[in-house]
Amino acid sequence: MSYTKHDSAIVDEGAQIGDGSRVWHFVHVCSGARIGANVSLGQNVFVGNDVMIGDECKIQNNVSVYDGVRLADGVFCGPSMVFTNVYNPRSLIVRKSEYRQTNVGRGATLGANCTVVCGVTIGEFAFVAAGAVVNRDVRPYALIAGVPGRQIGWMSRFGERLELPVEGDGETVCPHTGERYRLSQGELQLLA
């Protein structure tokens, strides 16, 4: 075994977990899960069968990663954030054939207690604030807050807020790294 697993964790036979990953207290990883290298699964995390988690992701305590969720490399899932996989669930109606795929781009942050409604795509390095509800696609580098979530700004790869309007054009630099960004026609691009 090339990953670390706490004695209380359950990893079903067939699950794939990459080198250097850490599986903490009371975690359950189902047999079909595919988890990359150097991933941290915090206390009481559940990972379903049809789940793909990239390298270097951090999934904090009390997060359930349900079937249909795809996390690219470097995604951060804050404590007690929520993924769903059925858009209109009913206890009396079986809808397992209606699961919707949710895609989270490289380096994105999903803040504590936020909710991501199934079927959306969250762009790379997007930042969802604590407690927000994401019910539509999120652009790369977007800062999302509120219920329902709406874009209130832009974030750098480093996780610093950028001085740019939500819409329009402009250029700015990350206040921490000095990386330059250009906003044009609703798309933010990192300039080399």
pLDDT tens digits, residue range 135-172?
999 999 999 999 999 999 999 999 999 998 888 899 99
What does the pLDDT read at residue 187?
A: 93
Q: 180: helix, coil or strand?
A: strand
Contacts for 38-47: CB closer than 8 Å, 24+ residues apart: 41/9, 42/79, 47/15
For residues 191 and 2, give the distance between their C-alpha atoms in angstroms, rounded to a whole number.
38
Average pLDDT, the chain: 96
The predicted pLDDT at position 165 comes to 87
- Taking a C-beta distance cutoff of 8 angstroms, is the pair 19, 1 a contact? no
Domain residue spans of the chain: 4-166
Average pLDDT over residues 28-38: 98
62-66, 92-96, 126-130, 136-140 — which is least confidently predicted?
92-96
* CATH placement of domain 4-166: 2.160.10.10
User: The pTM is what?
Assistant: 0.95
